[in-house]
Structure 1
Amino acid sequence: MVARNLFTVNRTLTTVKQSSKYASVVIRKHSVWTQDRVIKSPFKDVHIPNCTLYEYIWQNLDKWPERTVSVCAATGRGYTYEQAFKLSNRFAANLRTKFKIQDGDAVAVMLPNIPDYPLVSLGILEAGGVITSINPIYTAHEVQRQLKLSAAKMIVTLPEIVPTIKEALKLAQLDIPIVVVKTNDSPVPEGTALFNELSEDIHANKSILKQVRRTANDVCFLPYSSGTTGLPKGVELTHRNIIANCEQINEPIIAMHRETTATHQDVVMGALPFFHIYAATVLMFHKMSVGAKLVALAKFQPEAFLSCIEKQKTNVLMVAPPLILLMASHPAATAKTLEPIDVICNGAAPLAGSDVERLLRRMQRDVDFRQGYGLTETSPTLTVTPKGLIRYEATGPPVANTEMRIVDSDLKNLGPNETGEILVRGPQVMRGYKDNPEANKETLVEGNWFRTGDLGVADEDGILVIADRLKELIKVKGFQVPPAELESVLREHPSVNDAAVIGVPHQTKGESPKAFVVLKNGHKCTPQQLSEFVNEKVAAYKHVDDITFIESVPKSAAGKILRRVLRDQYC
């Protein structure tokens, strides 16, 4: 999905005062607008190491081998960096020897946030494989589609998810190995291999890893996105894409971490799902590259989440808007509970200024609030506000090595304070959509400028504000729901002739899917029956509980659904 990620950073007022003047100088020392109305980054270009993501993450291992890399928020089970390196190394060797994983093979990872997630991911990369991440709450119907599209050669999951996987494999008519990560005393399902044994195998033939031939320009991560519209497409992110983004957010003026030293290690809350690009890059890969500690929260519960902040002394918190609202209003969210936090990074959707102010009042501290913007297709970070810029609605200027355009409907460049579609170009932009030249042609235009599908406006300093979105994705609790997917499922019902889905405002979800259905002549069906039909096939956040029957779906001459007409008539 095109993932709109808003990065929010809160630091102490002392830090803000020290950095605000410097930030102001950097932004205003020269014009960021060219004569051709292209916005250049105000930051100095960063050097992008020519290596794989695996090599990049482990390059400073000798600085913090005994530090904790990941720990379970509930049980305290975890690994040091040295243990993670050795275990992922053995897992990688066994992927090559026992499962015949070759360079470029996709390996599906369908796991919640557990401390083993980074080890599984890095093992796949070291084996020369490509990670394709799957939401662990997906249904068999959703899983089988991604397994087929990605051509996954195997899948890593939890024992309790195996029945869903087996049903998905049956639907897809596939027969691939299943590896399970054992996190408790639950039995290992028959016919599966155990990650714990594969990673602890001291006899693993690690010499086989010398056969791996992967470069910085090879694909390493394959999340599935709906782009600006339509059904999910594989987003091909290379090692260089993600490494570039890690280096871009290392810029001191926008950095959200502190250096790991003998006396300090950042503790980063892993509440956002690692399968999502925001958490995968900004939280997991980047924070491992700087030696931080990841606290993995596998199942979200408000009290457990808030307790973990205090218990683990979490100083870096990355969340989506619903969690910001939770911290601003939940009785257990007190100034004392939130005291350890140095940095809050909000992602997935914009926040209203009033919501930010409520959180700051609850924290009882004057802190620096910043935002940014990004997408799955851009690894994800594109813009981040510099320290000291207090504009709640702003998402900042482009990060280093990044250009941006604001264009009209004819893709003609607009100027400062004019609203149009956001186009971007930089080393973090995806290689393309897997096996989808038509989608690539639509989104990568005029010399690899990526069309975000978002509407924005930038001021004279290149500071971007997101105005609206052109794309049709529905934002439900920070997750993106493509209308086309739900429409496709609705049309599978034997009584449905046509369907259209739009997003409507919802008090707690942000948005919620609303369906408009045309029944076949002579057929009868209730909204409840349709809801049950759809909801058993999709993850909970995609559920459709609001259905209206109509005589026909309004469409353009080209056959495209006129969703705005539906909003005007029925919402």
Structure 2
Amino acid sequence: MVYTSSYPPVDIPEGDVYTEILGSLTAEDLDRIAVTDGVTELTYGSLKAQADAFAGALAARGIDQGDVVALQAPNTPGFVIAFFGILRAGATVTTLNPLYSPNEIGKQLGDSRAKAYVTTAMLLPSARAAALEAGLTAGDIIVLDDAEGHDCLADLLGQDLPAPAVSIHPATALAALPYSSGTTGMAKGVMLTHRNLVANIVQGAAALDVAPDDKVMAVLPFSHIYGMNTIMNLTLYRRGTLTTLAKMDLPAFLGLIQSQRVTYLYIAPPLAVALVKHPLVDDYDLSSVRQILTAAAPMDEALGKALLARLPARFVQGFGMTELSPISHITPMGDDSVSIGSVGLALPNIEFKVIDIQTGEEVPEVPGGRTAAGEMLVRGPNVMLGYLGNSVATAATITPDGWLHTGDIVEVGPHQEVYVVDRLKELIKYKGHQVPPAELEALLLTHPAIADAAVVAHPDEEAGEVPRAFIVLQDGARATGEDIIEWTRERIAPHKRIRMVDFIDAIPKSAAGKILRKDLRSTRAPRP
């Protein structure tokens, strides 16, 4: 059965992301606060002017329409200026996690063919090494704050150059190129058009009641599609105020909610656990919070109820993935008939269906009850164009008639609400971050003592899941679990680090050579 959204269809604006968000400002909007970090305040008028000036400076440096510009920075007002400046120049922004190692940065810079690289002074050691590996020069690196030998944001804005004339076709022009592992495998560039992002902004706006007087917490990284489009772009589209925090620190997070009177919280399940259990929460006045939305990984009903018991507010849960720009489902506000343990109803203009993973046949609806489990497929204007330079992965993910395989195993309830019960995809979700097992396995196999390796998700109360490695040692080789963990620590971003190691005689595999991760996930963890 094909399920359609219970929301009325929405009209998708015809403009590009910049035009729909900053090109539509009214005189009344100009003096509203668009972004604050608790110290610096940036009005909508100033954000637009600075984004335009940054676009002019990029054009003067040779950035043409369709070029890719990398942006790696924590959540700050400067990130927002650079993001919209890149789009205003007609370029595509590829965002990088600030935690990435030089090797990870270099791979993305090279694969995306970035022509320039915007970052911060704190990240420069990794940035310089990665840029060299990708064929960029020091002159191609722009620093948002200040660093000797590099142009900084203030210098470029001070040139006061006009933004270039560009002609953007929203349905085909790429706005963003975030990297995702999809359902399996290594990270791939997800081609998101201006229409993809604009469509998901208005789809999300139909279900989320962000208003101009809302102060929206922005601690989840803008480099991730959830932070970029659902938090940053949707908030600015609705003329709310983004309250940014550059790094997750619980006292700073709670203090910012209290001092700025934050009304809207976007979080991931690991942060929900902290809000439920940490005694520090009681020391702060969080009464301004009226709405909490959690996404990036499923959260069960018990945790949701515990969160509301400690932090009374409305609570909704959402489902999404980078390839969906990112959200497709959200729990309806004010509808108690839909369990908070579900990821909600389909957004406007979205269809979905559930298929049996063995037969591929559609799972039938069960009137008044929950369906059998199957993989969810989604179709709508927010579905990505495809994976950059990877037609094979694109064809494996999107069917010829536009259905995107999510890799999530779901059941559908009596109100057409969706419950995520398992997943077909292999990604590990560590504190909301995607960790592809294949990437860690490829790294482990370069270790001289390792003959074979497999990595799976292991449940963890604080992080949600952690990477757990199963290792087969070379004959005669010796290594401890701590040796392996320390070796990977030096070569990978912190959120991808292996947290557990088991030594086994052989990695279980199918006749076709595929790792049987389900067998490994069911292996009892060794006693500490």
Q: Could you tell me the TM-score, scaled by structure 1's length?
A: 0.87
- Does residue 183 of structure 2 align to residue 228 of structure 1? yes
Shift of 1:569: 4.1
Q: Which string of whole-angstrom CA distances, capped at 9 and with x for unpartnered residues, describes residues 414-471 of structure 1? A: 1121210000100001010111011011111141100000001113432111111111
Determine the structure 1 residue equivalent to 2:74.
112
Partner Cα separation in structure 2 for residue 490 and residue 543 of structure 1: 11
Deviations 1:49-73 (A, max 9, x none): 1111010102431231011111113
Question: What is the DSSP-based 3-state SS (H/G/I as helix, E as strand, rest coil) of the residue aligned with 1:332?
Answer: helix
Q: In the alignment, which residue of structure 2 is the partner of 1:65?
A: 30
The residue aligned with 2:325 is 379
Corresponding residue SS for 1:318: strand
Alignment of 1:425-504 (within 5 A): 425-504=379-458
CA–CA distance in structure 1, aligned partners of residues 333 and 283 of structure 2: 23
CA–CA distance in 2 between the matches of 1:511 and 1:49? 38
Q: Which residue of 2 aligns with 1:44?
A: 8
Distance in 1 between residues matched to 2:402 and 2:490, nearest whole Å: 40
Please point out which of 413, 417, 430 is paired with 2:362. Answer: 413
- 1:215 is aligned to 2:179: no
For residue 525 of structure 1, what is the amino acid of its counterpart? Answer: A
Q: CA deviation at 1:331?
A: 2.5
Corresponding residue for residue 6 of structure 1: none
Matched, 1:300 2:262: no
1:125 is aligned to 87
Q: What amino acid sits opposite 2:114 in the alignment?
A: A
Per the alignment, in what secondary structure is the counterpart of residue 370 of structure 1? strand
> Which residue identity is paired with 2:317?
Q
- C-alpha distance in structure 2 between counterparts of 1:402 and 1:569, whole Å: 39
Q: Distance in 2 between matches of 1:310 and 1:459?
A: 38
Q: Name the structure 2 match of 1:83.
A: 46
Structure 2 CA distance for aligned equivalents of residues 544 and 213 of structure 1 = 43
Residue 334 of structure 2 corresponds to residue 388 of structure 1: yes
Question: The residue matched to 1:489 in structure 2 has which SS?
Answer: helix
Select which of 536, 560, 563 maps to 2:490. Answer: 536
Q: 1:188 aligns with which of 138, 147, 152?
A: 147
CA distance in 2, matches of 1:283, 1:569: 38
Contact 2:292–2:314 (CA under 8 A) maintained in structure 1: no
Contact 2:90 2:166 in 1 (8 A): no
**Residue matched to 1:310:** 258
Rounded Cα–Cα distance in structure 1 between residues aligned with 2:11 and 2:83:
25
- SS state of the match for residue 466, structure 1? strand
* Cα distance in structure 1, aligned partners of 2:283 and 2:334: 23
Q: Tell me, yes or no, if the aligned pair for 1:103 and 1:214 is still in contact at 8 Å.
A: no
Contact preservation (8 Å) 2:304, 2:341: no
Q: CA offsets, 1:312-371, max 9 Å, x none?
A: 0100111111221222222232396210011111121122222222222223x4x44322
Task: After TM superposition, give the deviation of residue 311 of structure 1 in Å.
Answer: 0.3
Aligned position for 1:273: 221
Instruction: Name 1:170's counterpart in structure 2.
Output: 132
Q: Work out the number of aligned pairs and report it.
A: 515
What is the CA distance between 1:117 and its match in structure 2?
Answer: 1.1
Deviations 1:176-210 (A, max 9, x none): 6000011xxxx5132x21111112322x143xx11
- Percent sequence identity over aligned pairs: 36
**Separation of aligned partners in 2, 1:374 and 1:359:** 21
Partner of residue 114, structure 2: 152
Amino acid aligned to 1:556: S
Check the 8 A contact 1:51/1:216 in 2, yes or no: no
* Residue 522 (structure 1) shift: 3.2
Kept after mapping to 2: 8 A contact 1:162/1:189: no
2:157 pairs with one of 199, 209, 212: 199
Letter in 2 for 1:215: P
Runs (5+) with no aligned partner, structure 2: 366-370
TM-score by length of 2: 0.94
CA distance in 2, matches of 1:493, 1:169: 25
Give 2:516's aligned residue.
Answer: 562
CA distance in 1, matches of 2:514, 2:157: 50
2:193 to 235, 238, 246: 238
Q: Return the alpha-carbon distance in structure 1 between the equivalents of residues 294 and 332 of structure 2.
A: 15
Other structure's SS at 1:310 match: helix
Deviation at 1:213, TM superposition (A): 4.1
Of the structure 1 ranges 320-329 and 266-275, higher mean CA displacement relative to structure 2 is found in 320-329
Deviation at 1:498, TM superposition (A): 1.5
- Is contact 2:266-2:294 (8 Å) kept? yes
Amino acid at match of 1:374: G
Higher normalized contact order (CA 8 Å, seq sep 6+, divided by chain length): 1
C-alpha contact (below 8 Å) 1:97/1:205 kept by paired residues? no
**C-alpha contact 1:115 1:295 (8 A) present in aligned 2:** no
Answer yes or no: is the 8 Å Cα contact 1:505–1:511 preserved in 2.
yes
Verify the 8 A CA contact 1:268 1:294 in the aligned structure 2.
yes
Correspondence for 1:8: none
C-alpha distance in 2 between matches for 1:50 and 1:369: 32
Alpha-carbon separation, structure 1, partners of 2:499 and 2:273: 24
Q: What is the distance in 1 between the residues matched to 2:148 and 2:122?
A: 8
Is the alpha carbon distance of 1:548 and 1:330 closer, same or farther for their aligned partners in structure 2, counting shifts above 3 Å?
A: closer
Q: Which residue does the alignment assign to 2:55? A: 92
Q: Is the 8 A contact 1:453 1:471 kept in 2?
A: yes
Three-state SS of the structure 2 residue aligned to 1:60 is: coil
Please give the alpha-carbon distance, in whole angstroms, between the structure 1 residues aligned to 2:209 and 2:492. Answer: 35
Compared CA separation, residues 372 and 160, structure 1 to 2 (3 A):
closer
